[in-house]
């Protein structure tokens, strides 16, 4: 690790160092002035020595970062190596870092936090679209510009200082322990992906909301918690926090990056939506608390019975304030919503943890899908069939109070989520599971002929007889068998394939009739 000598008054490239701005475990930051242009810039001098290969890697990384141009990213103006010590010249952000504005232990009101998140996620989404991952999101790397805009700094620095971080980790220094507090499990394993930045941002949001980090301790203690421990409940620390806000943050903190939001901008939009007050959409209920079932145009049908859809929104989830409450551990507190959409209805995923599936196709968080008669909606292990009266619906079998559907298998199930969402379906799904589920229909259920037959299924007529299958040709000893070119009819006395000896026919063969 390089010595942290005060460089005030020295020249680095075309910049004269004016004064020290700040110090960290990996770098010292100075205010510098261009000797010809008289413009000021921030100069980050890394505390590491580079060898030949590392110098080439640093230059390549710096060139890439210099091409990132976004209103919420600190612009890299120049870079170089002083001997073996690398440095970056960046635009100067005069208002300090968000860590300085919100010291450790302080809580940030959500109305202040949301604009921060929107700007940070916009910058990260831009970088991800350029195939670039930040790798070191934390309040110390979030600056405030001259117009109070949030600026991301230190793009790519994590790659350059990787070896030094390992050294500091072995020493258990506070700086590297602080960095790992924001690090995603897969990044700790050396498998950084764009969703790693999403995880780090969610840790920052957690800290701002609660005033504390979810995982604390020495370096290895934090590493083990990041890999294995669930974050403590936000609402236990901040009871006034909306359940939807907690759900969005916990989704971004999923240990498996495949279970987070697909894009960091989706995470930001979901958080903004969760903060917005939701208009109440009461569903008509009788005195016993169960959903009122009436003759409506459309309905959801499943193990919970037939739920009539009025022309109003119907929220679905585990929380008791939903219009339809599902006791499913894989369902979120506010999981999905059925909304009127023109003359039909749409299902909207409310940024649930485990996703909302239509015909086994997962909806993007916050995305909606127009429902067609016969569509199957899955929330956790609970399935519903969407029905609309008066429309032809293939493969439907009427029951008293429940519609049993012969559901075709999905053709393009996402491989990213198949393993995680696999498992044995609960017993209440047996009438909505698969084509084999017809065998589970009790005898008193009378099938109603479908209005049409989907192309992938062939209806079986009642008097159907299976085709006759020709027996396999006999084997002839151990020698390879060659199929005859035309069928040959042999008398019963003809020797059979596989006999060791041939015995002539026991009865004479009639000669052919003479020609007339």
Which residues carry out catalysis? 136
Spatial CB neighbours of 184, under 8 Å, sequence gap ≥ 6? 192, 195, 196, 199, 200, 226, 257
d(CA 429, CA 373): 19
Surface-to-core class of residue 50, CB atoms within 10 Å of its CB (0-12 exposed, 13-18 middle, 19+ buried):
buried
Are 199 and 252 in contact by the 8 Å Cβ rule? The answer is yes
Are 164 and 136 in contact by the 8 Å Cβ rule? The answer is no
Unique residue bearing structure tokens 């995305």: 367
Which two three-digit tokens encode residue 154? 């230190």
User: Coil, strand, or helix at residue 315?
Assistant: strand
User: Coil, strand, or helix at residue 45?
Assistant: strand
Question: Measured between alpha carbons, how far is residue 359 from residues 208, 304, 369, 454 in Å?
Answer: 39, 19, 11, 15
Q: Give 404's Cβ-side CA count (13 Å radius).
A: 23
Are 351 and 322 in contact by the 8 Å Cβ rule? The answer is no
**3-state SS string over 409-451?**
CCCCCCHHHHCCCCCCCCHHHHHHCCHHHHHHCCCCCCCCCCC
Say if strands 40-46 and 27-34 run parallel, antiparallel, or are unpaired: antiparallel
């Amino acid at each position: 690790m390089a010595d942290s000598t005060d460089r005030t008054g020295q020249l680095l490239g075309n910049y004269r160092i004016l004064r020290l701005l700040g110090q960290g475990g990996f770098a010292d930051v100075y205010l510098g002035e261009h000797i010809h242009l008289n413009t000021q810039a921030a100069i980050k001098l890394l505390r590491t020595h580079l060898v030949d290969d590392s110098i080439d890697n640093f230059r390549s990384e710096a060139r890439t970062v210099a091409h990132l141009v976004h209103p919420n990213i600190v612009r890299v103006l120049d870079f170089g190596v002083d001997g073996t010590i690398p440095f970056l010249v960046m635009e100067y952000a005069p208002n300090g870092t968000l860590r300085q504005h919100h010291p450790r232990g302080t809580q940030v009101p959500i109305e202040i936090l949301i604009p921060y998140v929107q700007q940070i996620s916009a910058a990260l989404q831009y970088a991800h679209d350029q195939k670039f991952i930040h790798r070191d999101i934390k309040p110390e790397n979030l600056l405030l510009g001259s117009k109070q805009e949030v600026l991301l700094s230190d793009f790519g620095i994590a790659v350059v200082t990787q070896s030094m971080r390992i050294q500091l980790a072995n020493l258990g220094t506070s700086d590297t322990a602080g960095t790992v507090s924001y690090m995603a499990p897969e990044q700790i394993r050396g498998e950084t992906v764009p969703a790693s930045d999403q995880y780090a941002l969610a840790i920052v949001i957690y800290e701002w909301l609660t005033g504390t980090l979810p995982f604390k301790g020495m370096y290895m203690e934090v590493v083990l918690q990041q890999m294995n421990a669930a974050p403590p409940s936000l609402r236990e620390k901040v009871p006034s926090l909306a359940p939807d806000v907690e759900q969005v943050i916990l989704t971004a903190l999923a240990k498996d990056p495949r279970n987070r939001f697909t894009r960091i901008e989706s995470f930001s939009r979901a958080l903004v939506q969760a903060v917005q007050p939701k208009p109440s959409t009461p569903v008509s209920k009788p005195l016993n608390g169960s959903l009122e079932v009436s003759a409506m145009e459309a309905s959801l049908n499943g193990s919970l019975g037939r739920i009539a859809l009025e022309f109003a929104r119907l929220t679905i989830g585990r929380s008791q304030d939903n219009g339809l409450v599902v006791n499913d551990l894989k369902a979120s507190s506010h999981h999905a919503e059925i909304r009127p959409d023109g003359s039909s209805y749409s299902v909207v995923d409310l940024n649930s943890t485990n996703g909302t599936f239509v015909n086994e196709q997962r909806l993007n968080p916050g995305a909606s899908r127009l429902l067609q008669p016969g569509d199957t909606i899955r929330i956790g292990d609970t399935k519903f069939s969407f029905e609309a009266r008066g429309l032809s619906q293939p493969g439907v079998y009427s029951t008293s109070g429940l519609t049993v559907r012969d559901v075709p298998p999905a053709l393009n199930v996402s491989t990213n989520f198949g393993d995680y969402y696999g498992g044995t379906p609960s017993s209440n799904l047996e009438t909505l599971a698969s084509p084999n589920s017809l065998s589970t229909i009790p005898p008193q259920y009378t099938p109603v002929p479908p209005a049409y037959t989907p192309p992938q299924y062939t209806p079986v007529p009642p008097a159907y007889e299976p085709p006759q299958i020709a027996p396999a040709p006999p084997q002839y000893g151990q020698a390879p068998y060659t199929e005859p070119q035309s069928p040959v009819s042999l008398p019963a006395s003809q020797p059979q394939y596989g006999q060791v000896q041939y015995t002539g026919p026991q009865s004479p063969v009639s000669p052919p009739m003479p020609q007339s």
